Amino acid sequence: MSFSIDVFLQLLLNGILMGVIYMIIALGLTMVYGLLRILHIAHAGVYTLGAYIAFSTYVVTHNIFLAIIAASIVCAILGVIIERSLYLPLLDKPAYIPLIISIAVYLLLAEVIAQIWGHYPIGFHVEEIPRESYEIGKVMIGFHQIIFLAVITGFILALWLIINKTKIGLASRAASQDFEMAMAMGENVIKVIDFNFIIGSILAGIGGLLVGIYYAKVFPYMGDIVAYKALVVIVIGGLGSIAGAIIGALILGIAETFLIATLGYLLPREAFAFIIMIILLLFRPQGLFGKVE
């Protein structure tokens, strides 16, 4: 199937938006992996809880800014609790032990959310973000999509500034390059790890809120797909690489969109993601931006 330029541009935009959704989880996941070498699957649970906290805050206060603040605080606290109580005590254990615990925590969080808010999706409509679309050329973009892209781009810029221009960012980079050396140099490693979990969890919480608004619903199992998609993303990008996660997410989102558009429904969307990952790993096992260890 060949596309007109209008369809091509619309699909490209759709693909970028898909990619940005995957990016939200992938960033936190790669930050934690870079530091602790733990695959933090429970991150998707933090994301889901962020969406629900924001939803309930919005329903009560009708103030989207309060919803953002509430989701950020709750998620930051939850992230640090998971880190301090589950991951730090297990650092000297084989990698599969924190992985299994992380998966269990994700499933537990989803079930707790389902018990509190119910098993079925709930509509999430925000007055401040009307669902209007604008036509630019022949490409349609929704107001909620513009907000979504703007907030995430702002967040990534802020993340870049923090990591590159602040002392704790420098410490974080040092620790992720060589954990033992940073410790030997007297760096306060716990503080650095806390910092990574706080930033990553706030991003997950706001991400959950944004995706909830994007699809106009919250759902206890909304973390399922993004959890393993984010895994694919950070494997493509190179485990532990932040730039890799950003590029990997965009590649996956765009590739999925065009594969569905050209091949139709030969395989489920999820299968495409893993095929892309396998092909990439055959040629570059360390991922696009990963270093050979």
Partner 1 sequence: MDKKLAVAAIIVIIIIIGGAIAWWYLTKPPAVQPIKIGFHAPLTGFAAADGLSALHGAQLAVQHINAKGGVLGRPLKLIYYDDACDPDEAIAIAHKLIEEDRVVAAISGSYSHPTLAASAIFNESGIPYISAYAVHPEITRDKPYVFRVGLTGVPEGKAMGYVAGLLNATRVAILYMDIPFGTTLAENAKAYIEDVLGGEVIYYEKYELGETDFSTWLTEIKALNPDAILAPAYYSEAAHIVSQAKELGITAPIIGCEGYDSPKFLELAGDAAEGTIIVTDLDRDSPRELVQTFLSDYKNMTGIEADMVGASAYDAVLVLAKAIEAAGSLDPDDIVNALKNLENVEMVTGTLYYFTEQGNACKPMVAQIVREGEFHHYADITDPDIITPPE
- Interface positions with partner 1 (CB under 8 A): 1, 3-4, 6-7, 10-11, 14, 17-18, 118-123, 125, 131, 133, 135, 140, 142, 145, 215-217, 221, 225, 257, 260-261, 264-265, 268-270
Residue 52 neighbours by CB under 8 Å, 6+ apart: 113, 116, 117, 208, 218
d(CA 105, CA 183): 28
Task: Give 120 or 283: the residue with its C-beta nearer to partner 1.
Answer: 120
Strand partners of residue 217: 123
Q: How many CA atoms lie within 13 A of 219 on its CB side?
A: 14
SS3 category, 178 = coil
Q: Which amino acid is at 271?
A: A
Shortest reach from residue 240's CB to partner 1, in Å = 28
Tokens of 196: 């990574």
Shortest reach from residue 232's CB to partner 1, in Å = 16
Shortest reach from residue 152's CB to partner 1, in Å = 16
Shortest reach from residue 130's CB to partner 1, in Å = 9
Shortest reach from residue 26's CB to partner 1, in Å = 17
d(CA 228, CA 32): 16
Among 258, 252, 222, residue whose Cα is nearest residue 237: 252
Shortest reach from residue 6's CB to partner 1, in Å = 7
Task: Give 99 or 267: the residue with its C-beta nearer to partner 1.
Answer: 267
What is the C-alpha radius of gyration for the chain, rounded to an integer number of angstroms?
A: 19
Do residues 139 and 6 lie in contact, with contact meaning Cβ atoms separated by under 8 Å? yes
Task: Give 131 or 291: the residue with its C-beta nearer to partner 1.
Answer: 131
Measured at the CA of 204, the angle between CA 144 and CA 57, to 5 degrees, comes to 65
